[in-house]
Amino acid sequence: MPGPAGPEPASPRPPATWWPSCPTPRRRAWKPPPRGKQAIAGTAAKARCARGLPAREHGSEARLGRGQPFNTVAGHRSAIRPKWCSLHVVFAGRGRQGTLGVRPHGRSLHAGLQITSRRGEASLPPLEVCRTCPMHQSKPFRSTMVTDTRLTRRGLLRTAAAAAAPLVVPRAVLGGPRHVAPADRITIGIIGCGKMAFDYHIPTLLGFPDVQIVAVCEVDMNRRARARQIIEQAYSQAPREYQGCGEYVDFREMLGRHEMDAVVIVTPENWHCLQIVEACRAGMDVYCEKPLTLTLAEGRICMEAVRRHKRVLQTGSQQRSNVFGQFREAVEIIRSGRLGTVKTVHVGVGGPPVPCDLPGEEMEPGLDWDLWLGPAPLRPYSSVLSPRGVHRHFPAWRNYREYAGGGHADMGAHHYDIAHWALDLDRSGPVEVIPPEDPAAVTGVRFRYAGGLEIVHGGPGGCLFTGTRGTLRIDRGVLQSDPPDLALEPLGESEVRLPRSPGHHRNWIDCIRSRERPVADVEAGARTIAVVQLGNLAYQHRRTIRWDPRAWTFADRSAPESWLDRERRDPWRLPSL
């Protein structure tokens, strides 16, 4: 048992000469955690922004125990985005084993941390450039991920010190010793500039020295201009050739830029199939946000287009590339047979979509509403569907049948994907879909697979696997098993180990160069969302559906062929290959 804790040492201030271009900080005193709060086996630890910038600390304590992440945040304001850039220090592991590292909060990473604990002090070096803050893009940054198989409270500071070893990574948008020649860069266009583009895709791609964003396409004038401004401002500080970022309203015009190598599609899913097919025809590789498609017919067409044109498509199911590996670890546990034969999986996500009956509104100039609707039925403008300008929330179009698959598809695209990945079903699918008995229920649909497996929509968040030897639950921030040793016992040498992902975008970029299959390829994405689409049809029509996953059609005439697709507005017909 740990002895009584001594007094907290004072947190040292960083040298005043660090990052002189940063604004003068308005310092804020840090109060130590109350006694009795535990971090690593009784050690309370605190992370501070190493720049000494004004820290916005979300809670004054850090806790770490079995099953608890160590989430201590320090941050500063970004010069471009009116929000806090911040870091989480995370201990990801079981008991005395794990990984000490840093992950983003708000998807913006920046300088190193000063960790203070009852046992002493240590520093973590900068993790990565704050990609949206140009004042910090003129300094080299270092990357840290330390694995210690015997990480204890006494080892925390040794681990943090080891993290400070000089490992310099490429600067996000600057030339340097690892400067990439223009001919060797992959040029990319962004289709759709909403929250995910601003918070995730654009900052991530700006961080790759071998990638250059050359065009953006967006139907909202303000979002389009803002995306171009951020991209050009980032590249303007780089001593390398950059011809500027093109702006487009219509994605078909953007795809005419033959010098582009790839596109990232970040639009509502009623657009995905058309944009994927046109990009493949233009010879471009594709990263498409999940859910990959809106209808079953679209999934088949996307798979055929990628195969025919020999393209690399990454579905945006980034849980497969989770940087701390908890989803991969769960998959390794299940594939190693620790649960025995898996009989059922409960997937806890939202419900099916509903028809859109939102009232119409007046629309300010600057939005091509007809092009936003695309194949969907013509209706008046609604700010619920498409808020004007740059917004920091997820618009509600995802709840409505005309544009998306509801909460069932929104998070189901992530968690059914993990169920398929864990059980090696990326090339398969259910053979029978049974609606719940209650006609008003929005959970409870059951998916039966060949061999007896049953996946059920409903339950705790994430995936709950039940096997003949125990259960395992996996969600963001959660990895639990019963009995506990199923998850706590380290994997042996003879058990399944999956490749570690360098990150979802990085995996895609690497596969563009190697022409290998990415971690979430088109078939994995199409077959995962086909589960959701079959479930939504069962909810909508309250009818049992039999499905042939090989033929990609309804079996035994259990449903009309018209259910494979939906009506579309001219000229947005289902693509033919």
pLDDT at residue 240, as a whole number: 61
Amino acid at 2: P
Identify the CA nearest to 147 among candidates 133, 131, 163, 136: 163
pLDDT in tens, 78-99: 222 323 333 333 333 333 333 3
pLDDT band at 577 (very low <50, low <70, confident <90, very high): confident
What is the average per-residue pLDDT within 10-20?
Answer: 33
Please state, in angstroms and rounded to a whole number, the distance separating the CA atoms of residues 431 and 447.
8
Report residue 184's pLDDT band, with 50, 70 and 90 as the boundaries. Answer: confident
Question: pLDDT per residue over 309-330, tens digit each?
Answer: 999 999 999 999 987 789 999 9
Mean pLDDT of 403-413: 98
Does residue 241 carry a pLDDT above 90?
no
Give the pLDDT of residue 325. 84
Instruction: Give the number of C-alpha atoms closer than 13 A to the C-alpha of residue 511, restricted to the C-beta side.
Output: 24
pLDDT digits (tens, 9 = 90+) for 372-399: 999 999 999 999 999 999 998 999 999 9
Q: Provide the terminal-to-terminal Cα distance of the chain, rounded to the nearest Å.
A: 68
What local confidence, expressed as pLDDT, does residue 330 receive? 97
Higher pLDDT, 491 or 175: 491
Residue type, 261: D
Span 526-547, average pLDDT: 99
The residue-averaged pLDDT of 144-158 equals: 32
* Beta strands 285-288 and 262-265, pairing class: parallel
Is residue 23 very low, low, confident or very high in pLDDT (cuts 50, 70, 90)? Answer: very low
The answer on pLDDT for 117 being more than 70 is: no
Mean pLDDT of the chain: 77
Lowest-pLDDT range, 115-124, 491-500, 515-524? 115-124
pLDDT band at 258 (very low <50, low <70, confident <90, very high): low
Report, at the CATH architecture level, how domain 325-353+407-493+523-564 is classified: 2-Layer Sandwich (3.30)
Say yes or no to pLDDT of 26 above 80. Answer: no
Segment (H or E) for 204: helix 202-206
Domain edges within the chain:
45-163, 325-353+407-493+523-564
At 544, which amino acid appears? T
Residue 168: per-residue pLDDT: 31
Q: How confident is the model at residue 243 (pLDDT cuts 50, 70, 90)?
A: confident
Q: Which two tokens stand for residue 429?
A: 């699918």
Looking at residue 561, what is its pLDDT?
A: 97
Task: Decide: pTM greater than 0.75.
Answer: no
